[in-house]
Chains A and B, each alone.
Chain A
Amino acid sequence: MRKFTKEKGVVLPLDRANVDTDFIIPKQFLKSIKRSGFGVNLFDEHRYLDKGEPDVDNSNRPINKDFVLNLPRYKGSRVLLARDNFGCGSSREHAPWALDDYGFRVVIAPSYADIFFNNCFKNGLLPIVLNRDTVDQLFMEVEANEGYQLEIDLNTQKIIKPDDSHLEFSVDAFRKHCLLNGLDDIGLTLEDADAIKSFEANWQAQSPWYFSETETR
């Protein structure tokens, strides 16, 4: 996994609560068997005026000029500012893949749906929780100042504002460690392979009815 230490970039304000994963990446793009290439279809139903399909050239599609992602002042954003319950709905990891592929590295919101929140960390994307008032304040500052950027320092857990003041955020210690070092979860878990094997043997002895193996049917 890509390491995450510091990130700095333009902030995109997505002023809408309960943004679901269908909003982030509509289902027709989930037909892909790849992990990359979803960035051009991020927020597809809002970003374009027509219906998107996988494997078509997006450059000729009519753009929704009013949608925030298409406003020139937010070009190249890396930080997404959002509202409550961001990422609700389906478990599709294509949502963080699309955000990442577009260029986002950080999401800031007052709250997230659990599965989405979890999926972000698996992809080197940092979801930050700030309280509602602070998020409100950020929305106002972003809208008032063109080119508004934030710098996020994971190590010190600080968000540095353009005026050099900062906000602090909390992050789970283990997840921070994994992000900072770009650690692969599977590799980490397999270091405990012996513990898994002995658990499994005990569990099978105690509850053999859970070991009716499907492959034998």
Chain B
Amino acid sequence: MGKNMTGKTLYDKIWDAHLVSQREDGTALIYIDRHLIHEVTSPQAFEGLRIAGRRPWRAGANLAVPDHNIPTTKEERSQGLAGIKDPVSKIQVKTLDENCIEFNIFELKMNDLRQGIVHVVGPEQGATLPGMTIVCGDSHTSTHGALGALANGIGTSEVEHVLATQCLMQKKMKNMLVRVDGTLSVGVTAKDVVLAIIGEIGTAGGTGYTIEFAGESIQSLSIEGRMTVCNMAIEAGARAGLIAVDEKTLKYIKGRPFAPAGELWDRAANAWRELVSDTDASFDRTVELNGADIEPQVTWGTSPEMVASVNGSIPDPLAETDTIKRGNIEQALNYMGLNGGTPIKDIKLDCVFIGSCTNSRIEDLREAAQVVEGKQVADSVELAMVVPGSGLVKQQAEAEGLHKIFLSAGLEWREPGCSMCLAMNADQLGEGKHCASTSNRNFEGRQGFGGRTHLVSPAMAAAAAIYGHFVDIREINI
């Protein structure tokens, strides 16, 4: 069968539906349905509009929310803008407010109950819908692919471009399929699955591709779990990750504020059911993993691909024959203050962070709460904090009493925001400290100058808080 006879992938379908025009060299103008905005990557874009005398093409396609810079303690948050101690951060949040007023853009302000991390808020509000093209000046925009939307991060020049034209100039990526089949063992979560995938293909494995995640293990995940997987597509090098629409997707979306209702819902739902790759679609690359083999994962280095099973050990650089790779391992271990050959379970933690757009949704918090319930954070752990992904997540968690479980176990319960995921606000990991973190990046200095990050699932982070070192979540009594 000729190539043009094969079916379309999910990515092909969404791409084709949004194609406004295309140049001979393949550069395409793609229509953007939804643009999400936060305070860090937007000020220069609004400034660009102002200088050129331009207005947003379709103001109503935008949704803005501050998240990166804002304080997460109740005391500071209750004071509003005045509570932001860092004057530079304060100006940035204030600038977002002012730009949104000037350009008539809908903003969920810092103390709106619906405020939160932009990638938690989009799906929660129904602003993320299947089949949409979604962009945001933030690389973890890939998260929204969990709902069958084509979503990718962009730079600030492109933020300005989308505001001004409702389009982006892009070239089509190649198609990659990552299939994870088999049944996940109890205690193994979406986070472990995606870390295992990154361990397999590497942080540049998805460069140039849009990855579709499929297979039994992926289908078995909840929508929130799927968001965790797509969130980290970018850590595998892919700007966008996608998961086919199914009944779970529709159920998740129905009734959310910006989702269609009534007769429009029925029509939309019918159209969305088509958002799956055709059975005869061809992919440029396919990677297969067996979900049953995946164990809880822990990163030991300074790149998400530097990952091992909790029952494994840190690799010995001397065993690596490729000199560049050996150098990378040595550099990472030097920064992390760890030695090759050390069992992962021997890594001691000073800090635990449960939050970020990867793992701060209600299911993540339930998972963590279940582990710490009735227990105490280890004396050696200096700081353990839980930062819900949005005000609505926080409200729900409190309605379920999760905050009481965390507080009585000795964890802090904070206000929603990005917090120590990137430490742009006051929540910073100390120099040389080891942190079990549910976030997505373990780069040097990511969580604070000289800080040492280990990426794990919420359950694994919670267990590490109790024991003071990593433990296999499957071996402890919950």
Contact = CB atoms under 8 A, between A and B. Distances in A.
Interface in A81-133: 83-85, 88-93, 96, 111-115, 118-119, 122-123
B203 A196 contact: no
A212 B129 CA distance: 11
B25 A174 contact: yes
A85 B204 contact: yes
A33 B21 CA distance: 33
A90 B445 CA distance: 13
B54 A208 contact: no
Contacts of B173: 114
Given A27-B422, A93-B155, A196-B29, A186 B164 contact: yes
B63 interface: yes
A17 B264 contact: no
A27 B18 CA distance: 33
B153 interface: yes
A213 interface: yes
Contacts of B85: none
Interface residues of B, number: 87
B60 A214 contact: yes
Contacts of A88: 203-204, 237
A210 B129 contact: yes
Interface stretch (B89-97, B352-360, B393-401): B89-97
A17 B132 CA distance: 35
A189 B27 CA distance: 12
A55 interface: yes
Interface string B120-160: 00000001010110000111000000000000111111101
B203 A215 contact: no
A30 B92 CA distance: 9
A31 B161 contact: no
Given A31-B88, A90-B422, 6 more contacts: A31-B92, A35-B44, A84-B204, A172-B27, A186-B164, A209-B129
Interface of A: 16-18, 20, 22-23, 26-28, 30-35, 45, 51, 54-55, 83-85, 88-93, 96, 111-115, 118-119, 122-123, 172-174, 185-186, 188-190, 192-193, 195-196, 199-200, 203, 207-217
Interface of B: 17-18, 20-21, 23, 25, 27, 29, 31, 33-34, 40-41, 43-44, 47, 52, 54, 57-63, 68-69, 86, 88-89, 91-92, 95, 104-106, 127, 129, 131-132, 137-139, 152-158, 160-161, 164-167, 169, 171, 173, 203-204, 207-208, 237, 239, 257-260, 264-265, 267-268, 271, 303, 324, 328, 331, 422-424, 441, 443-446, 449
22 contacts: A16-B328, A18-B204, A22-B446, A27-B423, A30-B40, A30-B68, A31-B86, A31-B88, A35-B156, A85-B204, A92-B41, A93-B156, A113-B207, A113-B237, A172-B171, A173-B25, A186-B160, A195-B29, A203-B17, A209-B129, A210-B129, A214-B60
